Structure 1
């Protein structure tokens, strides 16, 4: 089901139609003469539902008069528009008429002017009421106040997350760009901005969680072969399941592909991503694990930070013993045994924290209980342990 949400503004350009008639040229090349672009767009995209959005002073009277609505019912609407007192009840009869005329569901939504945050939030709340989960939504921001298109982009993202709709496109009929030779007014598809926001959201998710796998579907959509993009997901999976060797192998290929990517949107973010995912470039497993511990500690992902710090200490111990078998289970177990025999108090605290967080049971150890009861104390103690255990 496709729903068109179209803004209705207030204009004095033409006393009969409200808006100046224009020959709107859609991206597909078709021409649609109309004073109100939303009506032409509804027909072009074969909308199943039309949501007209305006304030209590928008040109509801002129719009419905142009659609052929009942003259007598329009009289009271004229005064209400003039006084900015239009209500949903006043629009009901006109909405029903237009619905029958178009053969689709029509809704009229009265919104505030979005002058401040409270009103802007109310606009989003009201829009959420007129769409249902699973709908495909197209936004028309041609008419209405000039600041509303910016709010429409926020609304697109809000509705996608809260109502689980798919916002397909955002259209703007650029009257100010009308070709003086042909008389055609280009219609701009601003849907690319939604794709940019997808990348910005992915970047925020990555910076919060460290999961660079969120970029994989975006690189695929931007033209990278799926098999190459999936290397990011594989690397993220291995990293987050504490397998730095396999993560390094996948990430080496993934970052090479990211750096060589030529997609329009990917180029905006590829440098930032490749520069910030560099833990695998220096050293070997002991250094990789410590770098990952630092990364997760910075993000306050304490369980992963503790786990990588714990494993890094063991890896360093294996190497200090003169062995290159840092990935061999038996060698790691022997190193762990020697560490425990040495009665290293800092490592014991780290190990106890790891066990407590992994198992989530009530602690008899008062020190552990205190640390797990206060995030700032835990964060401070882990940074202290990191400095003492690794001497740098």
Structure 2
């Protein structure tokens, strides 16, 4: 299986011998030949050589080229016919021929030599390279080179110029555009990964001058950031991860480390990298350890705004909702993805938000339900309405003042039971109860309230969601005692006890806010 494939054009010119060399490698003595493809094949140790030639070019140089390669002990070049390019039909046929040569499986790297290309051949060669690389999931490393005969130095040597960066500029611009417009980072990370491998290879071949290129690390961090963005990992995007920075800050640092290598390789990248830094990363980079307070509010508003701008409406609505809940939450309840995160405190904050935020909670719930349930209702919201409502809600959230401190009113204790024996048992144990009730209305529960009893899971979950505490009256009943009225003494004998449970509804049918 060939590792390096050389693809070269052959024209009809009167090619003169010259010593072709690679300027990037000062120790390269070069190869003296009239055909730059020969110099490239020998320098690169190409395993496969494909030469594209018109009938006239093959007649003029085909046999001489084959003899030249044979004398140098190189693999025999495979000549593939192309047309003269007289009109669009012939140009498209040449396009398909070059595309096939580039796209054939087997090569780890491909070098495309356009030195002897004729008329429009060098121009469309660049278009074919971009086309092939944009369609392939894992494209081979393709380099485009040109032997500059007219640029001979004092020793009569002609440099081989690497023009790949001009092709890659288009790829980079498109990939960054995709990233900044959709948040999808895989195309850009693959582009950076490919260039990172090449720069590292060239750095090794040149004797490792200066620091090792940092583009590969940039590619890895970019992929991590993109994953966190598309899966809405809010904690990873905005908060430190143990002793590591947030993925947003890590990407800014990786971009800073790789910027010099990228700009040296493709100078115009400076402008598009600046845009990526300014539009996407900087608004999310804050010095935070939690997401409560004014700084947390600003960070969540920026993240919601980013999702809205990316056209990710469901993600924008989710971040907006959680950001609003943060205003009512303690610090541990605003640290997602950390060991300090307190789910119980989060539930209390959500209950208080639903009770006090009024129209905002209802509107967010309406939008989220419409999105999450794919418009399966009688009157799904039009897309422009969804965007308009989210835009207004984000603006409102960014400016909303923090809620007043939660009043320190002691919670009530409810004992839900219809059994006299249970009431007598509680009194005998000295359990303080504010109210004994036969049935519980969950709307009575306020943060800090406690409920005792043997309730079904859905009611227990509602109590916890409203910020209350649920204590289950547990008994170790033998089969013969089940279904009959128990006395206080019976309950003692059967190990009656109160056990606190935190119950949470995992997949509600419809979101309440």
TM-score (ref. length: structure 2): 0.57
Sort the Cα spacing of 1:342 and 1:68 in 2 relative to 1 into closer, same or farther, 3 A: closer
Sort the Cα spacing of 1:32 and 1:230 in 2 relative to 1 into closer, same or farther, 3 A: closer
Partner deviation per Cα, 1:198-245 (whole Å, 9 max, x = no partner): 543442232122356745747965622866764444444334333333
Q: Which of residues 113, 132, 146 in structure 2 aligns to 1:172?
A: 146
Q: Does 1:244 align with 2:234?
A: yes
Q: Does 1:314 align with 2:325?
A: yes
Question: How far is the alpha carbon of 1:300 from its aligned partner?
Answer: 0.9
Larger Rg: 2
Greater helix share, 1 or 2?
Answer: 1
Sort the Cα spacing of 1:228 and 1:53 in 2 relative to 1 into closer, same or farther, 3 A: closer
2:22/2:30 contact within 8 Å kept: yes
CA distance in 1, matches of 2:319, 2:366: 14
Q: Which of residues 68, 89, 96 in structure 2 aligns to 1:125?
A: 96
Question: How far is the alpha carbon of 1:195 from its aligned partner?
Answer: 5.2
Partner deviation per Cα, 1:55-75 (whole Å, 9 max, x = no partner): 56x533211253479xxxxxx
Ranges in structure 1 where 5+ consecutive residues have no aligned partner? 12-17, 70-97
Counterpart in the other structure of 1:154 = 127
Q: Which of residues 269, 280, 283 in structure 2 aligns to 1:279?
A: 283
Sort the Cα spacing of 1:146 and 1:332 in 2 relative to 1 into closer, same or farther, 3 A: farther
Q: Which of residues 255, 258, 265 in structure 2 aligns to 1:258?
A: 255
1:259/1:271 contact within 8 Å kept: no
Sort the Cα spacing of 1:388 and 1:36 in 2 relative to 1 into closer, same or farther, 3 A: same
CA distance in 2, matches of 1:344, 1:365: 24
CA distance in 2, matches of 1:365, 1:343: 27
Between 1 and 2, higher relative CO (CA 8 Å, sep ≥ 6) is seen in 1
Ranges in structure 2 where 5+ consecutive residues have no aligned partner? 200-212, 241-245, 287-293, 335-341, 401-513
Sort the Cα spacing of 1:40 and 1:228 in 2 relative to 1 into closer, same or farther, 3 A: closer
Q: Does 1:298 align with 2:309?
A: yes
Counterpart in the other structure of 1:109 = 81
Q: Secondary structure at the match of 2:19?
A: strand
CA distance in 1, matches of 2:194, 2:99: 26
Question: How far is the alpha carbon of 1:178 from its aligned partner?
Answer: 1.4
Partner deviation per Cα, 1:169-198 (whole Å, 9 max, x = no partner): 22211011012x422212223344455455
Counterpart in the other structure of 2:59 = 61
Sort the Cα spacing of 1:234 and 1:337 in 2 relative to 1 into closer, same or farther, 3 A: same
Question: How far is the alpha carbon of 1:289 from its aligned partner?
Answer: 1.8
Q: Secondary structure at the match of 2:158?
A: strand
CA distance in 1, matches of 2:113, 2:195: 28
2:53/2:79 contact within 8 Å kept: no
Aligned-residue Cα RMSD (Å) equals 3.7
Q: Does 1:47 align with 2:58?
A: no
Aligned length: 344
